[in-house]
C-alpha cells in the first residue's frame, strides 16, 4: 500500500525560502501570483493490507521523525 505525505509549514512560521521563490516568480512577470509557501513531499510504501492500520503507522512515522510538529503540519493520502 502506498501513501503520500504532504508537509507544510504552519501558518505563523516564516518561510524565507518560499518568499525568495515567490519574489523571483513575480520578478519574472507572474503578476497574478498572490503568495507562495514551500513544503516537503514524501511517498511511502508499506507492507500492510489494512488501510487504517497502515495510515496509523504512517502517522506514527510522521510524528516521530518526518515532521517537526512545532513548525509543520502534515497530510496523509493514499495513492
Partner 1 sequence: MNSSIIVFPGSNCDRDIAVALKKFQFKNTMVWHKDVTLPKSDLIIVPGGFSYGDYLRSGAIAAKSNILNEVIKKANDGCLVLGICNGFQILTETGLLKGVLLRNKNLKFLGKDVYVKAVNINNKFCNKYKQDQVLRFNIAHNEGNYFTNSDHLKELEDKNLIPFKYCDKKGNINEENNPNGSLNNIAGIFNDKKNILGMMPHPERMVDQTISGDDGINLFTSLLN
Contact set with partner 1 (CB under 8 A):
13-14, 16-17, 20, 65-66, 68, 70-71
Q: Residue 17 or residue 50: which is nearer to partner 1 going by CB?
A: 17
Q: How far is the CB of 64 from partner 1 (least distance, A)?
A: 8
**Backbone φ, ψ for residue 59 (5° rounding):** -60, -40
Residue indicated by cell numbers 518568499: 19
Q: Residue 51 or residue 69: which is nearer to partner 1 going by CB?
A: 69
Q: Residue 19 or residue 55: which is nearer to partner 1 going by CB?
A: 19
Distance in angstroms (rounded) separating the CA atoms of residues 18 and 63: 24
Amino acid at each position: 500500500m502506498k501513501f503520500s505525505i504532504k508537509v507544510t509549514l504552519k501558518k505563523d512560521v516564516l518561510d524565507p525560502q518560499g518568499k525568495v521563490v515567490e519574489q523571483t516568480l513575480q520578478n519574472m512577470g507572474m503578476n497574478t501570483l498572490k503568495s507562495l509557501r514551500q513544503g516537503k513531499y514524501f511517498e511511502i510504501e508499506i507492507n500492510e493490507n489494512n488501510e487504517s492500520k497502515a495510515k496509523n503507522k504512517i502517522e506514527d512515522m510522521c510524528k516521530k521523525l518526518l515532521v517537526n510538529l512545532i513548525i509543520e503540519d502534515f497530510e496523509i493520502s493514499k495513492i
